[in-house]
A = this chain, B = another copy of it.
Amino acid sequence: MTMRAADLDRVRALPLFCRATPEVFRDVTAGAFLQRFPAGTTLLMEGDTVDFLYVLLDGAVELQGSWKEKETTLALLRPVSTFILAAVVLDADALMSARTLERSEILMLSGEALRRTMRQDADFSFAVAQELSGCYRGLVRAVKNQKLRGGVERLANYLLTQRVRQGMRDPIVLPHEKRVLASLLGMSPENLSRAFANLSSYGVVVHGAEVSLGRPDALERLARPDPLIDNHMPPPSSVVGKAESERWATQTGRTCGTVLG
């Protein structure tokens, strides 16, 4: 209950809640609490049963899956984003782990309360269904991205997507470590370096986290972005208006990367 009014407002503005009645919002946030975590904290392990809907208010969170000592990044989240909505709705165990990449502020809503409210309010239930649909479509994009494109193509499209999200500024800045980005794009860190090197012939210059797309048109001819794969949603600056850009990975706000990769 120790949360600033401004935080509550940011949650209220989420597509998931912005059309809910005051009563519904009160019900679903009943018993919610805000918590701060340092960087590198594991919030949730694969296979854990999940009792809360998480809302990232500040910081950064990585969703990852693992198999046989190997790990891969499924999504990178920035505020304001919700995650593991699907597991909460089904009251099932988590299919991915969640860990903080930076010091983060996270609101935790009772899963029980969420499900109860859904059963009582058709409009809220509908909003949840819409959110889940957006998440689903985000994953469809991810799979297509992964299966249909090669490594350099995924990187090229990632850069073009970032350019749009960062308001067409020229030196875009990578929002995460390159090792994490590599995992998101489905390649080894070494290969990401080489992929960047390849793109230099298309005008791409890298200086640390700053990447300048010298000739976006040339890069675009290589990347061939496709609205059915890459969600080039409006830059964060412009008011997002109708909560319509598909949401991603149970998260409602911006995503860092078209999508997994």
Q: Once bound together, how far apart are the Cα atoms of A136 and B142, in whole Å?
A: 12
**Per-position contact with B for A190-233: 1 when CB-CB < 8 Å, else 0?**
00000000000000000000000000000000001011110000
Give the chain B neighbours of A128 by CB distance below 8 A: 125, 129
Q: Which of B66, B125, B260 contacts A125 (CB 8 A)?
A: B125
> Is there a chain B Cβ closer than 8 Å to A123's Cβ?
yes
The answer to whether A96 and B133 touch across the interface, beta carbons within 8 angstroms, is no
> Is there a chain B Cβ closer than 8 Å to A46's Cβ?
yes
Q: How many A residues touch the partner, as a band?
A: 35 or more
> Is there a chain B Cβ closer than 8 Å to A146's Cβ?
yes
> Is there a chain B Cβ closer than 8 Å to A172's Cβ?
no
Q: Once bound together, how far apart are the Cα atoms of A148 and B146, in whole Å?
A: 12
> Is there a chain B Cβ closer than 8 Å to A234's Cβ?
no
Q: Once bound together, how far apart are the Cα atoms of A93 and B140, in whole Å?
A: 13
Report the minimum CB–CB distance from A175 to chain B (whole Å).
Answer: 21
Give the chain B neighbours of A92 by CB distance below 8 A: 133, 137, 246
Q: Once bound together, how far apart are the Cα atoms of A49 and B47, in whole Å?
A: 37
- A142 closest partner in B (C-beta): B143
> Is there a chain B Cβ closer than 8 Å to A130's Cβ?
yes
Give the chain B neighbours of A90 by CB distance below 8 A: 130, 133-134, 137, 246
> Is there a chain B Cβ closer than 8 Å to A119's Cβ?
yes
Give the chain B neighbours of A144 by CB distance below 8 A: 65, 67, 72, 74, 95-96
Most buried by B among A86, A136, A260: A136
The answer to whether B133 and A68 touch across the interface, beta carbons within 8 angstroms, is no
**Per-position contact with B for A117-142: 1 when CB-CB < 8 Å, else 0?**
01111110110111011111101111
The answer to whether A147 and B148 touch across the interface, beta carbons within 8 angstroms, is no
Q: Once bound together, how far apart are the Cα atoms of A121 and B126, in whole Å?
A: 9
The answer to whether A226 and B118 touch across the interface, beta carbons within 8 angstroms, is no
CB-contacts of A37-77 with B (<8 A): 46-47, 65-68, 70, 72, 74
> Is there a chain B Cβ closer than 8 Å to A87's Cβ?
yes
> Is there a chain B Cβ closer than 8 Å to A14's Cβ?
no
> Is there a chain B Cβ closer than 8 Å to A26's Cβ?
no
Q: Which of B46, B115, B129, B140 contacts A118 (CB 8 A)?
A: B129
The answer to whether B74 and A143 touch across the interface, beta carbons within 8 angstroms, is yes
Report the minimum CB–CB distance from A72 to chain B (whole Å).
Answer: 4
Q: Once bound together, how far apart are the Cα atoms of A140 and B226, in whole Å?
A: 22
Give the chain B neighbours of A148 by CB distance below 8 A: 65-68, 70, 72
Q: Which of B115, B137, B147 contacts A86 (CB 8 A)?
A: B137
Give the chain B neighbours of A113 by CB distance below 8 A: none
